[in-house]
Structure 1
Amino acid sequence: MIPEAPDKVAVVSDKAGLAALVDRLRQAEWVALDTEFMRERTYFPQLCLIQVATADELACIDPLACEDLTPLAPLLADTSVIKVFHAASQDLEVLYQAVGEMPRPVFDTQVAAALLGHADQIGYARLVEDVLGVRLEKAHSRTDWSRRPLSADEIDYAADDVRYLTGAYTALRDELEARGRLAWLAPEFEAMTDPVRYTPDPDNAWRRVKGVRKLRAGQQRALAQLAAWRERTAVDSDRPRGWIIKDDVLVDLARRRPRDAGELARVRGLADATRRKQEAAILACIAAAADEPSEALIGPGQPLDADGQALVDLLTCGLKARAAEAEISAGALATRKDLESLVSGERDLPILRGWRRAAAGERLLALLEGRALLRADGNSVVLEEVPAS
């Protein structure tokens, strides 16, 4: 039987009330959680609301009123209580930064749904409609959650994000268990709760910038220095990276590597105010990169020729065939980039590890190596081993 959270929403707005709520929640086997936050004008997400639900409790925690969220830490750290999210990564980040405790263990209904044939990265509203037959309202989807007071309708709208998550979770969990797939998720959910994923890393900030493969070795080194400086500046000022310098301008700076104020002034897209304020820092980054080793940080990557792309198309067809047969979203198994890497000879890939290898990877490898074939079967495509001669 699918549980339903209570209709009435409790609003928790002080430390004592939060502590009492946490004591009750820790008696449950699982707790559904969601957050509302703002980060349009900041580097770090600004937590505005926390929604929680069990089969017996439905509440919204107001962090702006509570101020001290330390009573929430024991719940997040309690390994006997499963924390259920939908599309968990941003919620995990904001809770970890606000409370200082990583929620563990977790269950992500978006990831789980893909293993049962739902669309890859399915939205919460679509999942609730598909699994529970409930169509959610979207009237307050653009609410400024930092504004106070929140209306009763806004609170109720926010509570819907966990009110129906309880039923979706139990339905997905039971079906996964019935199909023998529940254990498949454990490694992915464990990886989600690694704090390193949510900790600023200036030294690797260059990996977020598009276009790095198109740069030469020295330019890549300049981009790494510039990206690290921008990340530290964004963290220190709590401002979005793009407010410091946009990605395309950062790449252009790395490509041109201006050596003085005159050359810097000729870089398009660099606002005069930013140039005047950050001139010394930008030029210092470029100078520092010039003293580094000449090796590239990352290779340009060799594009596949026509035959290679045809093999990727073949594997794509095989992937879809296996996904349909196993009733798993193809996107949850592999991306086209994964298949291109497979054709290029790489073997340390998600599709060749764990449950993905068992579900599709082994067959795709066999197809690539001529040990399997695709055939039409009515309106379907079947991926099967080559018959023994």
Structure 2
Amino acid sequence: MTVLYIDSDTALTQFCSEIQHSKWLAIDTEFLREKTYYPQLCLIQIANDDIIACVDPIAIKDLTPLLNLLYQPDITLVFHAARQDLELLYLLKNSLPPNLFDTQLAATILGDGDQIGYGNLVKQRLDVSLDKAHSRADWTQRPLSPEQLEYAADDVRYLCELYHQMSADLEKQQRTEWLKEDFAALSNADNYVADPETIWRKIRGAGKLKGVQLAVLQQLAAWREQRAMDRDRPRRWILKDEVMLDLARFAPEKPEKLSQIRGLEARDIERSGRAIIDVISKAKQTPPEQWPILLKPEPLSNQQEALIDALMALLRKFCDEQSITPIAVASRKDIEKLVRGEKDLALLQGWRYQIVGHHLTDFISGHLSVTADTQQIHTKEV
């Protein structure tokens, strides 16, 4: 199919009118975020069985006609690894489209692999090798070359074929319903909104701090997050994680002490030193009962570790029998939580429970016996 390049409001309105009766649309985006906090939307690729278009959001000032179309409740949007594309849509409209299909998620329960990339899935299922020449292109630059547009178009051209094929496979294997909750979870806005007050929990190394140190880290992380948002700059440009950890650990009280923090550049001290000291000072005044707590679970015993190993083996067995990638059902961390007695687990709900979860709980409760030979594991209800 010829690839349309949509770079005017008039052309966009006409294009949306042409595809408004589509039952589904394949969507992909090109964006950059190396120098910004928020991703910079550079191109939107859209396709159905009849047409492929590359919409230029840099040239077009009003994307309302397209957004109105994409959010229609009777249109399913088809993505591969949807989260980053959905983040962009959320930033544009402050809400998420209702009906989604993600070929990467579908791949996990069709036996195509966990976290499989688009190129690998296209090669595996359609025997097409995609050109990777423009994977690192600067999509903010104009004009876009014909080669770039073809490269971008391929991201939805084959997504259409994958959608038809994988939808049919899911229906044939009676697994279409399995993914409804997973797809619905993609439309949860909490996945795309950073909370400055809790972002400190994602900082690697926070577990080595305690008491007032965590209070300092929490407030530094909140300050950094808000500053990054306001200035639309990457977090690491404001303060690197390792610098924040040292600031929380040593809690300097005067700007001149900041030079002793490894990795904190002179220009950062000049620009933000006073603000950093103010944040630290305020955090140190936090009453102890308000200090954040990072709960650490009790170490597992050797026997519990052995139980987890056994459950992981059973997980792989039952997933292999269903041609499902094990990580689509549960991770080792999920199995550890199960052993610790936690109940609020995806493994214990829906299709995951039906095909694997109940076997694992039966094994723990002694209602499933396990034997083995050199070829496979055998299970029997007790």
**Same fold, TM exceeding 0.5?**
yes
Do structure 1's residue 283 and structure 2's residue 277 form an aligned pair?
A: yes
1:231: Cα distance to partner?
Answer: 0.4
1:378: Cα distance to partner?
Answer: 5.2
Give the TM-score, by structure 1 length: 0.93
- Within 5 A, what are the aligned runs for 1:18-57? 18-57=12-51
- Residue 367 of structure 2 aligns with an amino acid whose one-letter code is R
Distance in 2 of aligned mates of 1:104 and 1:34:
17
Distance in 2 of aligned mates of 1:184 and 1:73:
28
Distance in 1 of aligned mates of 2:8 and 2:307:
60
Do structure 1's residue 360 and structure 2's residue 343 form an aligned pair?
A: no
1:99: Cα distance to partner?
Answer: 4.5
Matched-pair contact (CA < 8 Å) for 2:199–2:221: yes
Distance in 1 of aligned mates of 2:362 and 2:258:
54
Q: Which residue of 1 aligns with 2:328?
A: 332
Distance in 2 of aligned mates of 1:114 and 1:293:
47
Q: Which of 4, 7, 23 is equivalent to 1:10?
A: 4
Give the TM-score, by structure 2 length: 0.95
Matched-pair contact (CA < 8 Å) for 2:316–2:326: yes
1:24: Cα distance to partner?
Answer: 2.2
Distance in 2 of aligned mates of 1:120 and 1:360:
17
Farther-moved stretch of structure 1 (221-230 vs 193-202): 193-202
Distance in 2 of aligned mates of 1:69 and 1:149:
20
Q: Which residue of 1 aligns with 2:105?
A: 111
Q: Which of 345, 369, 373 is equivalent to 1:373?
A: 369
Structure 1 ranges of 4+ moved more than 6 A: none
Do structure 1's residue 245 and structure 2's residue 239 form an aligned pair?
A: yes
Matched-pair contact (CA < 8 Å) for 1:226–1:250: yes
Farther-moved stretch of structure 1 (125-134 vs 35-44): 125-134
Do structure 1's residue 311 and structure 2's residue 307 form an aligned pair?
A: yes
1:322: Cα distance to partner?
Answer: 1.1
Farther-moved stretch of structure 1 (372-381 vs 233-242): 372-381
- Provide the secondary structure at the position in 2 that maps to 1:107: strand
Do structure 1's residue 345 and structure 2's residue 336 form an aligned pair?
A: no
Distance in 2 of aligned mates of 1:355 and 1:251:
41
Q: Which residue of 2 aligns with 1:69?
A: 63
Query: Which runs of 5 or more structure 2 residues have no equivalent in the other structure?
Result: none
- Within 5 A, what are the aligned runs for 1:182-261? 182-261=176-255
Distance in 2 of aligned mates of 1:269 and 1:338:
36
- The share of aligned pairs that are identical, in percent, is 43
Distance in 2 of aligned mates of 1:293 and 1:114:
47
Matched-pair contact (CA < 8 Å) for 1:43–1:234: yes
Distance in 1 of aligned mates of 2:5 and 2:306:
57
Distance in 2 of aligned mates of 1:117 and 1:377:
25
Distance in 1 of aligned mates of 2:196 and 2:244:
14
Matched-pair contact (CA < 8 Å) for 1:72–1:99: no
Farther-moved stretch of structure 1 (275-284 vs 321-330): 275-284
Q: Which residue of 2 aligns with 1:135?
A: 129
- Within 5 A, what are the aligned runs for 1:141-152? 141-152=135-146
Distance in 2 of aligned mates of 1:240 and 1:165:
31
Farther-moved stretch of structure 1 (360-369 vs 225-234): 360-369
Provide the alpha-carbon RMSD of the alignment: 1.6
Distance in 2 of aligned mates of 1:69 and 1:78:
15
- Provide the secondary structure at the position in 2 that maps to 1:202: coil
1:292: Cα distance to partner?
Answer: 2.7
Distance in 1 of aligned mates of 2:120 and 2:377:
28
Do structure 1's residue 301 and structure 2's residue 293 form an aligned pair?
A: no
Matched-pair contact (CA < 8 Å) for 1:51–1:61: yes
Distance in 1 of aligned mates of 2:155 and 2:14:
22
- Provide the secondary structure at the position in 2 that maps to 1:203: coil
1:239: Cα distance to partner?
Answer: 0.3
